[in-house]
Amino acid sequence: MAYAALSSLMHTLQQLLQSKSPLICTGNTSIQHVESLYQDLCDLQVFLENTTIEVKDIEDVKALEEKIKDVVYKAEDRIDSSLRSIILLDNGDDDREMACNVFNEELQQVEKEVCFLKQEVMVIKFDKHIGFSKLPESTTFPSSRKSTIEEKTVVGMKDDLNSILNCINAHTKELIVISVVGMGGIGKTTLASKVFDDSMIRSQFDKHAWVTISQDYNKRQMLLEIVSSITGIYQENMSNDKLLDTVYKGLKGRRFLIVIDDLWSTEALDLMRRIFPNDHNKSRIILTTRLKTVADYASSPDFPPHDMSFLSLDDSWNLFTERLFKKDPCPPQLEVIGKHIIQQCQGLPLSIVVIAGLLGNIGRTPDNWKKIEENLNSFFGKASEKCQAILSLSYNCLPQYLKACFLYIGSFPEDMEIHVSKLISSWIAEHFIKARSNTRLEVVAEEYLQELTDRSLILVRGRRANGRIKICKIHDLLRQMCIREAQIENVVHFTNNDISDGINDHRRVIIPYLIQDYFRDHPNHRNGKITTRSLIFLGRQSYEVTGIYYWPYSISDFKLLKVLDAHEIGFDFSRIIPQLVHLRYVDARVNDPSSLAKLFNLQSIIIYSQKKNVQLPTEIWTMSEIERVDITDVDMPNPPIGEQPLFMNNLHTLAVKSSAVVLKILRRIPNLNKLKINDVRRTEWYAFLDCLIVLQGLVTLNIQAAASLNSPFFLSRDIFLPNLTKLSLNSTFFPWEDMAVLAKLPNLEVLKADNAFWGTDWKLDEDVVFPKLNCLAVRHGNLERWEATSDNFPMLEELYLSWLHLLEEIPESIGEIMTLKSIEIRGCNSAVITSAKQIRENQEIYGNYEFQLRFVRY
């Protein structure tokens, strides 16, 4: 991937050009060569950004990208290898001068090669007549609107929906398996989601669970998902037998609705039939599969499989226009061409929404649409083959800055729900996100994700209370395309059982579970220098196997590694870390944090230790690249003497355990955006409040206190945090009167309180108003009576009440809030449930039929 390769090398050169960089050798000559090389790389990146990809030019552009990528990858390897030698040597070492000479020689050679490449690219550009102007601006604005991909649109599926509902509401008391069968992308999951998420249907059942099986059936993972859905707790320490017993007992005697999505084998179904009790209480199982044999095996004669059919041309057009134009009509000059394009989709919903995403992001002119139509006309075949052609075209027409980000998402395991915070951290660590003046990289990355969503390439699976995407995933047909493209372009390699080719030549490697044979034999079947830059392990405790204590040492051979995400391994990387001097991102167990001392490139430090009283090295105060530190069981070192702001100007996210040292540090990092502080003691509380005066840029604040009923905390004065939008409080035991202090936070949107307030009565006076609060979550406590009006929460959308066993009711006036979208009740008494149902009736009177009421029973 040429664009991503350029970004990575450019970032390395930027670091070298910093005046205080410990990496650069002395002398103006080397600096001049770095500057010259950096400028040539900038020119190449601008060329890629501005190159118009006409449909006819796709192969020429891909060949050009391949050439740039190969040259830049090799250049980066040579520069990083010589820099590594310099970093490992001390300033006074005689060998360091020799290493600097080698670096300068490599730098000059790379400079010549890139300069030659730049000239060659310009020649190809003019010979091939590849455009040098940007695509017409889209008429959509991705950053200002939310994608509707998660809204379970069922255009053309009314008959399908009624068929499933008839089975759900059938008079028989027997446990029914409702099978939905059809090819990938035809809408099986969308249909099941529409039923599963309907509040009226959910209210008929005591228990609800959704489990995705996927082609690679994993019995334990399936059981963990079911138990998690039923109990709300991820019971990863349970044995399989205990999990089976938990599922059976959790469902026994209760009416349940279970969705088994994407089933590929009868083996998984046989297991489920043994653990899902048939208590003749109208329980239902909805099953989706691509295989007719599996659907037939699961179904009974009275309830045969439901075959999903392709959309008619009229329904296809309605789905297309709804996605692209929302409620507006299609412009007349585009209608004929548009219908020709939609015919090529052959009634497959996935193809339709993807092509709508593509057309929505190019200029809406007949000429632009005609080019897409001509390209699709060159492909012949079944709907599945045509779908692949549409998906490939949509990928090839992505802007350069989105391609690597998209392929990276496709490398995650099939049907995996991806947490956006983790994804964005990975994108930034890989330098896929281009810096923009006065805008944090996280904000730019969210815009990238939103743009992919607007193009219907990413599925949204959950949003935060403020509307931002929290969880996403990718359709498996799109994922298959991503895997092919990613391996061709050497962007990221998703290892599976077949690792015969090794991974030393793959730029980024994601390992979903331990491939023990590979590491056990390392390095016997490995040849050549390892150029892997990212090594990422996914899964939950899936690496705790025989051999764990020796095979990770082989990672020290990955000398150019920049991203190490090994949190799940549980292995102490202290002896390995010092060799990986190019690390930008580390998420791992590190018992001796001093091993990070020479990692001057670090941007994200996410470590935990099994040793007590260990701290980060003092060198952290010279690491100007640091953006995120998450070390809740590792101490911070004393900062340099003085009161001036610390050198860590880029630090925006900090998660630490409270201490006197941390409180001193907080006063000297005014640029912080996100803070999580644990174990705040009463003796530190007021000093911590004083720190908040400096942290005016805070957007998110999470306080885990060490208060108790005998020593509660108090908000004795106003807190002025003008930018704070999310506040989480745990175990502070404030009196309810202190809520009035929080109401003065002008931009607070989300308030989560877990044992944060104590007292039997919470009365809100009319002058206490949360002007922008849209999400309120109250968990645990002894609250009995809550008095409030709709005026106290004028913008409230979501209310979560959990484990408030003594609460008598939800204030009736809450039902008068016009913005209210949902209430979730968990572990409360029946009186609270009754008052919630009354609120639902009030909302329906006001015309809010989309209001969601959820009860989680235990």
- Residue 794 CB partners (closer than 8 Å, separation 6+): 769, 770, 771, 817, 819
So what's the pLDDT on residue 367?
87
Q: Which residue has the higher pLDDT, 555 or 675?
A: 675
- Residue 94 CB partners (closer than 8 Å, separation 6+): none
| Residues 2, 68 contacting (CB under 8 angstroms) | yes
DSSP code at position 330: P
Give DSSP secondary structure letters for 619-667.
GGGG-TT--EEEETTSBPPPPPSSSSPPS-TT--EEEEE--HHHHHHHT
Split at pLDDT 50, 70, 90, the class of 199 is confident
So what's the pLDDT on residue 543?
45
Split at pLDDT 50, 70, 90, the class of 56 is low
Average pLDDT for residues 714-736, to the nearest whole number? 91
Split at pLDDT 50, 70, 90, the class of 780 is very high
| Residues 359, 396 contacting (CB under 8 angstroms) | no
So what's the pLDDT on residue 588?
93
What single letter denotes the amino acid at residue 508?
R
Split at pLDDT 50, 70, 90, the class of 555 is confident
Instruction: Look at residue 760 and tell me whether its pLDDT is greater than 90.
Output: yes
So what's the pLDDT on residue 73?
92
| Residues 429, 561 contacting (CB under 8 angstroms) | no
Split at pLDDT 50, 70, 90, the class of 292 is confident
Any bridge partners for residue 208, and if so which?
257
Instruction: Look at residue 348 and tell me whether its pLDDT is greater than 90.
Output: no
Calpha distance 452→431 (Å, rounded): 18
Question: According to the per-residue pLDDT averaged within each range, which of 10-24, 505-519, 535-549, 698-712 is highest?
Answer: 698-712
CB atoms within 10 A of CB 82: 19
Calpha distance 698→728 (Å, rounded): 13
Distance of CA 309 to the CA centre of its chain: 33
Calpha distance 771→749 (Å, rounded): 9
Calpha distance 697→694 (Å, rounded): 8
Split at pLDDT 50, 70, 90, the class of 119 is confident
Average pLDDT for residues 603-610, to the nearest whole number? 93
Calpha distance 200→198 (Å, rounded): 6
- 222-246 pLDDT, tens digit per residue, is 888 888 877 766 677 788 888 888 8
Calpha distance 641→637 (Å, rounded): 12
What percent of the chain is predicted at pLDDT more than 90? Answer: 41
- 257-286 pLDDT, tens digit per residue, is 999 998 888 888 888 888 889 999 999 999
Helix then strand then coil, % of the chain, to nearest 5: 40, 15, 40
Calpha distance 778→776 (Å, rounded): 7
| Residues 211, 258 contacting (CB under 8 angstroms) | yes
Nearest-CA neighbor of 555 among 511, 601, 592? 511
Split at pLDDT 50, 70, 90, the class of 53 is low
Mean pLDDT is lowest, of 12-16, 132-136, 211-215, for 132-136
Burial 730-765 (b: 16+ CB within 10 A, else e): bbbbbebbbbebbbebeebbbbbbbbbbbbeebebe
So what's the pLDDT on residue 364?
85
Calpha distance 71→73 (Å, rounded): 6
So what's the pLDDT on residue 525?
37
Calpha distance 625→602 (Å, rounded): 6
What percent of the chain is predicted at pLDDT more than 70? Answer: 87
- 464-512 pLDDT, tens digit per residue, is 877 889 999 888 888 888 988 888 888 887 766 444 455 667 888 887 7
Calpha distance 192→162 (Å, rounded): 12
So what's the pLDDT on residue 784?
97
- 439-467 pLDDT, tens digit per residue, is 888 999 999 999 898 888 888 888 887 78
Calpha distance 462→776 (Å, rounded): 17
So what's the pLDDT on residue 180?
94
Calpha distance 571→614 (Å, rounded): 17
| Residues 111, 40 contacting (CB under 8 angstroms) | yes
- Residue 277 CB partners (closer than 8 Å, separation 6+): 175, 248, 251, 252, 253
So what's the pLDDT on residue 139?
32
The single residue listed with the structure tokens 């139509």 is: 373
Q: What is the mean pLDDT of the chain?
A: 84
So what's the pLDDT on residue 824?
93
So what's the pLDDT on residue 542?
44
- 678-687 pLDDT, tens digit per residue, is 999 999 999 9
The single residue listed with the structure tokens 């009923």 is: 709
So what's the pLDDT on residue 257?
94
| Residues 741, 764 contacting (CB under 8 angstroms) | no
| Residues 532, 560 contacting (CB under 8 angstroms) | yes
Split at pLDDT 50, 70, 90, the class of 638 is very high
- Residue 382 CB partners (closer than 8 Å, separation 6+): 346
Q: Which two tokens stand for residue 286?
A: 């909805």
Q: Which residue has the higher pLDDT, 1 or 287?
A: 287
So what's the pLDDT on residue 6?
92
| Residues 503, 529 contacting (CB under 8 angstroms) | no
Average pLDDT for residues 28-37, to the nearest whole number? 82
Q: Which two tokens stand for residue 509?
A: 């490697």
Split at pLDDT 50, 70, 90, the class of 843 is confident
Calpha distance 544→548 (Å, rounded): 6
So what's the pLDDT on residue 757?
95
